[in-house]
Amino acid sequence: MNNSFNHIISIAPMVDRTDRHFRYFARLLTKNTLLYTEMITAQAIINGDRKKLLDFSPIENPIALQIAGSNPEELYKAVKIAEEWNYDEINLNAGCPSDRVSGNMMGASLMAYPELIAEMISSMKSATKKPVTVKHRIGISSSKVTSSFMPYGSFHDFEHLSDFMSIINKAAPDRNIIHARIAILEGLSPKENRDIPPLNYDMVYAIKKEFTNSIIEINGGIKTLDDIHEHLTHVDSVMIGREAYSNPAFMARFDSLYNCQTLTSLTRRDVIEGFLPYIENLENKGENAHLALSHTIGLFQNQPGSSLWKRLISTPSKGTKSTILRDALDSLPHDVLDKKI
Ligand SMILES: Cc1cc2nc3c(=O)[nH]c(=O)nc-3n(C[C@H](O)[C@H](O)[C@H](O)COP(=O)(O)O)c2cc1C
């Protein structure tokens, strides 16, 4: 089993969120957590601006590239191309319910075709020695997609999920990341489908019990250290999405879960001062510093100064973003800035 960096927590792939700016910022808060890129389609990697899509800073390691696709040959090509960038892991998206993705037979709609998923994983594995993982759901429901594996347009019971796992595991993915919620392909927006229907963690725990040799990572609704501890008694690792983005200080607690490391003495001032050279560098290159700074919006969540921080980083101003950051270090409450996160 290839899980060489032995992570127990990852930050989920999130389009328009987990770009390289956010990942750099996240690294100021946690060193050990595995970071995912946004989903990138295989076709974009083959035909698009590869440098723009795939470049990342070495500080972001360990980092996993998430690819969406449905054609094994295209996935092979995309993974071969990505080899040059030396990602720590390549992940196949088989869990995204977005029309843009599932309508093109990518993401969650692939779950109706587990043999094809297995073929894609095998194809990706033959293109790299790096771990190849897959992210999927506990089931799907669709009024349009049917297949011999899913003749009635849905599967949501444990037996069906177990059959699904047996088929895709023939390709030996290095980890299954399971979002503990059924993907609903029509009738709900992807945003709604991240909260509806309810999570079913027990189903994921039961999968780990049945597939003891598989590395199982659980995803969906994880918000506290206690949640993480509880999940880790059942499965191998956890993936966290929205809570890490909306409350980045949460990430500062993750490294304490590795090898009994003590809690970091990091403060929000350290994080802002750490991000400052990055923002200055973007400005010097004429790049979009506003976008990078927008990812820090939740840094003061639930703290005095939160509204001021949001206002400072989002209000257009004549000064540069790095000046705004320096000013923020003066104007935000110092006790909050200097308190351990
Ligand atoms: C804005 C946004 C974009 C997302 N984009 C992706 C994506 O590109 N690929 C993917 O597999 N999942 C994507 N997801 C789903 C997350 O990876 C994750 O599975 C989901 O948010 C549930 O985890 P959470 O409850 O910890 O947020 C996205 C979620 C959000 C909120």
> For 5-52, how does the pLDDT look when each residue is reduced to its tens digit (9 = 90+)?
578 999 999 999 999 999 999 999 999 999 999 999 999 999 999 999
In whole angstroms, give the CA distance from residue 109 to residue 103.
8
Give the closest residue (by CA) to ligand 1 atom 2. 14
The answer to whether residue 4 sits within a structural domain is: no
Q: Which pLDDT score is estimated for 291?
A: 93
Nearest to 191 by CA among 102, 108, 96: 96
In whole angstroms, give the CA distance from residue 38 to residue 48.
15
* Residues of the domain holding 221: 9-257
Q: Which atom of ligand 1 is nearest to the CA of 191?
A: 31
Are 128 and 238 in a shared domain? yes
Q: In CATH, what number is assigned to the domain containing residue 279? A: 1.20.120
Length of the chain (residues): 341
Q: Confirm or reject: Cβ of 13 under 6 Å from ligand 1.
A: yes
The answer to whether residue 188 sits within a structural domain is: yes
Are 173 and 205 in a shared domain? yes
**Eight-class DSSP state of 60:** G
Do residues 138 and 178 make contact, with C-beta atoms less than 8 angstroms apart?
yes
Alpha carbon distances (Å) from 334 to 261, 269, 323, 339: 27, 9, 18, 8
Q: What values do phi and psi take at 204, rounded to 5?
A: -70, -40
Q: Which pLDDT score is estimated for 97?
A: 82
pLDDT tens digits in sequence order for the chain, 341 residues long = 444 557 899 999 999 999 999 999 999 999 999 999 999 999 999 999 999 999 999 999 999 999 999 999 999 999 999 999 999 999 999 988 876 666 677 889 999 999 999 999 999 999 999 999 999 999 999 888 889 999 998 999 999 999 999 999 999 999 999 999 999 988 888 888 888 899 999 999 999 999 999 999 999 999 999 999 999 999 999 999 999 999 999 999 999 888 666 666 899 999 999 999 999 999 999 998 999 999 999 999 999 999 999 999 988 777 798 999 999 999 999 999 999 99
- The preferred substitution site among 137, 194, 201 for testing ligand 1, maximizing ligand atoms within 8 Å of CB, is 194
Are 160 and 61 in a shared domain? yes
Using the 3D structure, point to which of 203, 224, 257 is the last residue of a domain: 257
The answer to whether residue 312 sits within a structural domain is: yes
Q: Confirm or reject: Cβ of 216 under 6 Å from ligand 1.
A: no
Q: Is 15 annotated as a binding residue?
A: yes
Strand ranges across the sheet with 183-184: 154-155, 140-141, 183-184
In whole angstroms, give the CA distance from residue 67 to residue 42.
6
The answer to whether residue 138 sits within a structural domain is: yes
Are 285 and 185 in a shared domain? no
Nearest to 133 by CA among 242, 15, 13: 13
Using the 3D structure, point to which of 206, 230, 257 is the last residue of a domain: 257
Residues forming a β-bridge with 129: none
For the residues of 78-100, what is the DSSP string, one character each?
HHHHHGGGT-SEEEEEE----HH
Are 194 and 291 in a shared domain? no
Q: Confirm or reject: Cβ of 190 under 6 Å from ligand 1.
A: no
Are 221 and 119 in a shared domain? yes
Are 55 and 112 in a shared domain? yes
Are 243 and 106 in a shared domain? yes
Active site amino acids: 96
Residues forming a β-bridge with 64: 36, 89
Are 276 and 166 in a shared domain? no
Using the 3D structure, point to which of 209, 230, 257 is the last residue of a domain: 257
Are 281 and 229 in a shared domain? no
Q: Which pLDDT score is estimated for 3?
A: 47
Nearest to 235 by CA among 213, 205, 277, 206: 205
**279-304 confidence digits (pLDDT tens):** 999 999 999 899 999 999 999 999 99
The answer to whether residue 21 sits within a structural domain is: yes
Are 134 and 232 in a shared domain? yes
The answer to whether residue 263 sits within a structural domain is: no
The answer to whether residue 2 sits within a structural domain is: no
The answer to whether residue 136 sits within a structural domain is: yes
Q: Confirm or reject: Cβ of 136 under 6 Å from ligand 1.
A: no
The alpha carbon of 99 and the centre of ligand 1 are apart by a number of angstroms equal to 14
Q: In CATH, what number is assigned to the domain containing residue 168? A: 3.20.20.70
* Cα radius of gyration (the chain): 20
Give the closest residue (by CA) to ligand 1 atom 22. 220
In whole angstroms, give the CA distance from residue 201 to residue 197.
12
What is the domain count for the chain? 2
Are 298 and 218 in a shared domain? no
